[in-house]
Amino acid sequence: MSSSSPQQQPTLTASNSVNNVNGEVDCGDGLRCLPVPKRRYDEVMAHLRLNFFADEPLNRAVGLCKRGENHLELEKHCLATLASRMSCMIVDENDKIAGTALNGIVKRGERDENERRLAELRDPKFKSIFALLFKINEKCDIPNKYGVDEIFECRILSVDESFRGRGLANLLVENSIRIAKSNGFKIMKADATGLFSQKVFLKYDFNVITEIPYSDVEPSLRPGPPHKALKLMVKILN
């Protein structure tokens, strides 16, 4: 899931300079990528309300919420993911959040729990989105397929509108891969809902394991062009 989209601006590349004390990465041009500390969860949520909540392709398709609005069930999902302490964010020279990747952990045998959570959702629009995500993950049992008990999952990829087109989504995925490797994960996955996030994951050698064409879903859940399919993408970490 992603709220990043291209614009014509200079593309940034991360340096190899990592501060091992706090995990910060110098991204150049006054930008830094660092883990999301608990004290900044509220700022991350504010960023998501202004960007991801309204711009993510499936959210936009169903009209989940307007820019800047809160959404209790989506926020609960985001905060639960942040609690895994695997997420990262990019900040500018003024410490403003320019983008964030919310990363979580998928564990073997969670299907029944995920089905229960899906059944408990009250917002029909939000429920339709997560039913589709549940459906694509039902098509392939990733833990069993790769013989692992835990998988690192990039769940939300969001870039502030004013920073788009500068390669920040690339940096967020690159640093998420670094976090996954440093924590001993062997497999990383993403349910990529839009064309732009799919291109980013492909750049970092993710493979499409299965997909659901949007032409096969209900019209009310169908994103407009250029988005064509929901793709479950996996990377084997060396």
Query: pLDDT tens across 109-130, in order?
Result: 888 899 999 999 999 999 999 9
**What's the whole-number average pLDDT of the chain?**
92
Q: Are 57 and 128 in contact (CB under 8 A)?
A: no
Residues with Cβ within 8 Å of 55's Cβ and at least 6 positions away in sequence, in order, are 3, 5, 158, 161
Q: Are 99 and 154 in contact (CB under 8 A)?
A: no
Q: 4-18, 75-89, 98-112, 216-230: which has the minimum mean pLDDT?
A: 4-18
Query: pLDDT tens across 157-196, in order?
Result: 999 999 999 999 999 999 999 999 999 999 999 999 999 9
What is the per-residue pLDDT for 7?
41
The domains found in the chain, sorted by start residue, are 18-236 (3.40.630.30)
pLDDT confidence band for 208 (50 / 70 / 90)? very high
State whether residue 40 is helix, strand or coil. Answer: helix
Q: Look at residues 37, 137, 20, 151 and name the one whose alpha carbon lies nearest to residue 89.
A: 37
Where helices occur in 7-105 by DSSP H, the ranges are 41-50, 52-55, 57-62, 72-82
State whether residue 138 is helix, strand or coil. Answer: helix
Averaged pLDDT for residues 93-122: 95
What is the per-residue pLDDT for 2?
61
pLDDT confidence band for 3 (50 / 70 / 90)? low
Q: What is the pTM of this model?
A: 0.91
Phi and psi of 228, rounded to 5°? -115, -25
* Separation in Å, CA 183 to CA 36, 125, 154, 217: 16, 35, 14, 36
Query: Whole-angstrom Cα distance, residue 58 to residue 182?
Result: 31
